[in-house]
Amino acid sequence: MLSYRHAFHAGNFADVLKHSILTLVLDYMIRKEKGFHYIDSHSGAGIYQLTDEYAQKTGEYKDGIAKLTQQGVANADLPEALAPYVTLINQLNGNGTLDVYPGSPGIAKAFMRRQDSTHLFELHPTDIKHLEDFCYRWKKVFVKQSDGYQGVLGLLPPPSRRGVVLIDPPYELKEDYQKAVNTIIKAYKKFATGTYILWYPVVQRDLVEEMQTNFTNSNVKNLLQVEFCLDNDTDEYGMTGTGLFIVNPPWQLAQQMNEVLPYLKSKLGGNNSTFTVEQLIKE
Q: In the bound complex, what is the minimum distance in angstroms from residue 203's beta carbon to ligand SAM?
A: 13
CB nearer to ligand SAM: pick between 116 and 122: 122
Query: Do the beta carbons of residue 47 and residue 106 sit within 8 Å?
Result: yes
In the shown chain, the binding pattern of residues 76 to 115 toward ligand SAM, with x for contact by CB under 6 A and - for none, equals ---------------------------xx-----------
Using CA atoms, how far apart are residues 38 and 44, in angstroms rounded to an integer? 15
**CA 199, CA 197: separation in Å to the nearest integer?**
7
Indicate which single residue of 37, 42, 109, 119 sits in contact with ligand SAM (rule: CB under 6 A): 42
Number of helices followed by number of strands (H, E) in the chain: 9, 12
Q: Which is nearer to ligand SAM, 147 or 278 (CB)?
A: 147
Are 130 and 113 within 8 A, CB to CB?
Answer: no
Q: How far apart are CA 61 and CA 65, in angstroms?
A: 6
The correct pick among 158, 170, 241, 243 for binding ligand SAM (CB under 6 A) is 170
231 is annotated as an active-site residue = no
Does position 127 interact with ligand SAM (CB under 6 A)? The reply is yes
Nearer to ligand SAM by Cβ, of 147 and 272: the residue is 147
Residue number with CB closer to ligand SAM (60 or 127): 127
Check: CB of residue 119 under 8 Å from CB of residue 38: yes
Amino acid at 80: E
Beta-bridge mates of residue 73:
70
d(CA 58, CA 24): 28
Q: Does 148 bind ligand SAM (CB under 6 A)?
A: yes
Contact set with ligand SAM (CB under 6 A): 2, 4, 6, 18, 41-44, 103-104, 121-124, 127, 147-149, 168-170
> Which residue numbers are catalytic?
168
